[in-house]
Amino acid sequence: MTFELSREHEEFRRVVREFAESEIAPHAARWDREHHFPTDVVQQMGKLGLMGLTAPEEYGGAGDDGDFTSLCVAIEELGRVDQSMGITLEAAVGLGINPILTYGNAEQKQRWLPDLVAGQTLAGFGLTEAGAGSDAGATRTRAELVDGAWVVNGEKQFITNSGSDLTSCVTVTARTGVSTAPTGEERAEISAFVVPADAPGFTAEPAYDKLGWHASDTHPITLEDVHLPEGNLLGERGRGYAQFLATLDDGRIAIAALAVGCIQACLEMSLQYAGERQTFGVPIGRKQGVAFQIADLEVMAQASRLLVYRAAATKDAMRDGGGPTPAELKQAASVAKLYATESAVTATRVATQVFGGYGFMEEYPVTRFYRDAKVLEIGEGTSEVQRMLIARGLGLPVE
C-alpha cells in the first residue's frame, strides 16, 4: 500500500512553490537580517487563497475545494524557502482562524472570519504565559463578569501574529472562576475570549529579539482592565482550556509540515553544494562521509512527509464524517510533530556540516534554517510533551 497526494494537491503544490520562489525566496535573507515582517506579502498569500484553505465558502474560503492537507502542502512549500513565512501561514490559519471557525458563534464568525480568510487581517492565539507553557492549565490571566461585561487582566507570552499592522484580534484563555470535578476536586475554570487588538487596555509589547524566525511577528501581550462584551466569550464558558488543546492538535500537524519544508530545503541545499564543492580533486559528494549524511536527509524527508500527510488525511477524514476518532488524531499529530521537528533540527545540523566553514556564514541560507529549526521542537507542544501524549495514547499512565 502506498500513500500519495492527489493530482490536485500536487498541482496546488506547484502553484505555491512558484509563488514562494518568486515572491519570498529573493527577499528572505534581507527580511531575516532586518527583522522585517512583510505585510504586503502576507496579504498576497491571502489573495492566493492560502488563508482560506480550511474555511467555508460563506466566509470567502475554499469550501469543498480546500482541506487540511492542502494547508499542509502550502506550509511545507513556504517553509522550504523561508520558515518565517511558513509559520506566519501556519499560525494565521491553525491558531488564528481555527478557534473562531470551530468554536465561534454565527456573529463572531461573520465579524472576524471574512477579513482573516482574505488575508487582510491576522489573529493571534493567546495561550502561553510566563508560568504556564506546557502546563497551560496554570494560566493566571483572569476574566471577571462585571455589570454585563468581561474585564480581562493578565499577560501572554510568545504570541505569533499579535502585534503587526494586520492584527485584528487575539483569542485568549483566562480564569473565569472555579469548577468542581466529579471527584470533588476544585480546579480553575478556564474560558476563551476574542479580544480585539484595538480594545483599550490591550497592548502588544515590543517584539522579541529571537534566535530565529526573524521575519515572523511575535510579541508578548498585556491585558489591563480590557472590557469585553459578554458576546466575546468564545465557545462555552469553562471549556476554553479544552478548546485550545484541541486547536493544538491541528497545529501540531501543521508545524510538522513546516518541519518537512525545512528538511527538504536542507536536502536540496546539501545535494547542490556536494556536487559543486571540490576537495582532493573531486566533488565532496563522492566521499562516503558526505554522501551518507545526505542519504540520511532523504530518509528524514520521506519519513516525515508520510507521517505529516497521514495525520492530515486523518484530520480531513474526520471533517468528512469518516471513522478516525479524536484520540487517533491526537496520536497521529503528536507522532508527526515529534519525528518531523526533531528530524528538522538534525537536518539543519547535517546541512551545516556539509557546508563546512561556509555553513557558519550568514551569506548562505543554511545558517538561517539552522537558527529557525530549534523552535520547531518547542512551539505548540515540546518534544517532551509529545512523548508524554504518545505514551498516554498507548495506555501508559505517565504523568
Query: Which of 65, 97, 122 represents a domain boundary (last residue)?
Result: 122
Residue with cell 521537528: 341
pLDDT tens digits, 245-267: 899 989 999 999 999 999 999 99
Catalytic residue positions, numbered: 380
The beta strands (E) that lie in the chain are given as: 122-126, 142-146, 149-160, 167-180, 186-196, 202-204, 218-229, 233-234, 278-279, 282-283
Task: Provide the grid cell at 203.
Answer: 497592548
Distance in angstroms between the alpha carbons of the first and the last residue of the chain: 36
Domain that holds residue 18: 7-122
Q: Give pLDDT tens digits for 56-76.
A: 999 999 998 899 999 999 999
Same domain, 287 and 366: yes
* 310-365 pLDDT, tens digit each: 999 999 998 867 689 999 999 999 999 999 999 999 999 999 999 999 999 999 99
Burial class (CB in 10 A: 0-12, 13-18, 19+), 278: exposed
pLDDT digits (tens, 9 = 90+) for 99-116: 999 999 999 999 999 999
16 and 38 share one domain: yes
Please tell me the total count of domains within the chain.
3
**% of the chain exceeding 70 in pLDDT:** 98
Say yes or no: 187 and 91 in one domain.
no
Of 194, 218, 241, the domain-final residue: 241
Q: What percent of the chain has pLDDT over 90?
A: 90
Does the pTM exceed 0.85?
yes
What was the pLDDT predicted at 2? 57
Query: Residue 96 burial by CB count (10 A; 0-12/13-18/19+): exposed, middle or buried?
Result: buried
